[in-house]
Amino acid sequence: MRRSIIASIIAIVAGTALWGQAPRIGVFIPGAREGSPIYDTLAKGAERLVSEIPGASVRVIEAGFNQAEWEEKLTSFVASGKFDLVITSNPSMPELINKISKSFPKQKFICLDGYLAGNPNLYTALYNQLEQGYVNGYLSGLVSISGMKGTNPDKKVGMIIGQNYPVMDKMIIPGFTQGLKAVDPAFQLDIRVLGNWYDAAKAADLSRSLYAGGADVILPICGSASQGVVKVAQEVGKYLVFFDDDEFDRAPQNILGCAVLHQEELAYRSLKAAVEGKLPFGKAEVVGMKEGYIEFLDKNPAYIKNVPESIRKKVEAVIQAIKSGQLTFQVPSL
């Protein structure tokens, strides 16, 4: 074990020769770090690596939610010349990077939660969120027909999303829908679009409408606005499932499942490989449950306490089928 640790440290230090100095890492967040687990863990992964390399540095910039401003802000960030590696995360970012990288031919980029191959200065890794959606949808369907307190006979489940975008429309929603219909083809998914990622009051109103309309489980993917969804679920005694992070502590009686992305680990490992000269720039990869970057938190005490064992066994069987390759999901072109 000790030899392995020493070898890893030597490899990282040797890798700094790629830059002629300790690596300078820029983290570009297309949104806000606070209230956005996917961006917070991105930054944590970079900060973790920098803490291991003497002299390395990291700077995090939050570009805000106005997508029209991202290109200008990213260009300014890169044009400063202060970074050897720029890491970001968002399905919209690879095309933006591909556009501006022509003006910065020496700049190396890493984009997680995105997919684009062929740019020699860009590495991307896309999460297979069909898997993530399927497991949460399957759990939601099983809970909805279980007769648990707070459920009803209607085969209806809800989603509240910040906005439509390719990964949402082609992976998350289809995966979630497939999971629901694996329980019963009669299930309906009622989707409401918030139009932003921060309006908790509007998200609360949409939640009340969904629950009143017969949905007994909601999946919110709406950034910091999800606090409004959580509040309403607690008020009316209904249920939630979550993406991206461990959210159980926010409402242990109402949040029944969390399918998380291990973004911190992927950011750390990608940056480490880049520093060591081992990251395959120009390549686009897809990662999921089998690789360990998507996980359903089935060991959480709240999940074990609140979800009947009969349901948990069925969910576990689906997870094992995905990990073994028995159940597969073809990632579509984005």
Task: Give the pLDDT confidence score for residue 145 in this predicted structure.
Answer: 97
The model's confidence at residue 333, banded by pLDDT at 50, 70 and 90, is: confident
**Two tokens, residue 95:** 């095309």
Give the mean model confidence (pLDDT) for residues 116-142.
97
| Torsion sign (Cα): 80, 81, 87, 90 | positive
Give the mean model confidence (pLDDT) for residues 80-102.
96
Please say whether the beta carbons of 157 and 187 come within 8 A: yes
Task: Give the pLDDT confidence score for residue 18 in this predicted structure.
Answer: 60
Over the stretch 267-278, which tens digit does the pLDDT of each residue have? 999 999 999 999
pLDDT over threshold 70, residue 19: no
CA-based Rg of the chain, rounded to a whole angstrom? 21
Over the stretch 218-266, which tens digit does the pLDDT of each residue have? 999 998 899 999 999 999 999 999 998 899 999 999 999 999 999 999 9
Q: What percent of the chain has pLDDT over 70?
A: 94
Task: Give the pLDDT confidence score for residue 244 in this predicted structure.
Answer: 82
Cα separation values, 270 from 46, 132, 276, 288, Å = 9, 21, 10, 15
Apex 191 CA angle, 187 and 192, nearest 5? 155
Task: Give the pLDDT confidence score for residue 223 in this predicted structure.
Answer: 86
Task: Give the pLDDT confidence score for residue 5 in this predicted structure.
Answer: 45
Task: Give the pLDDT confidence score for residue 14 in this predicted structure.
Answer: 46
Task: Give the pLDDT confidence score for residue 65 in this predicted structure.
Answer: 85
**Phi and psi at residue 265, to the nearest 5°:** -65, -40
Domains and CATH numbers, the chain: 2-127+263-287 (3.40.50.2300), 129-260+298-324 (3.40.50.2300)
Angle (deg, nearest 10), helices 309-324 and 129-144 = 160
Lowest mean pLDDT among 8-17, 99-108, 297-306: 8-17
Task: Give the pLDDT confidence score for residue 284 in this predicted structure.
Answer: 97
As a whole number of angstroms, the distance between CA 88 and CA 122 comes to 11
Task: Give the pLDDT confidence score for residue 240 in this predicted structure.
Answer: 98
**Which residue has 């009947």 as its token pair?**
308
Average pLDDT of the residues of the chain: 93
Where on the phi/psi map is residue 66: left (φ > 0), alpha (ψ -120 to 50), or beta?
beta
As a whole number of angstroms, the distance between CA 123 and CA 45 comes to 16
Q: What percent of the chain has pLDDT over 90?
A: 87
**Two tokens, residue 23:** 């690596």
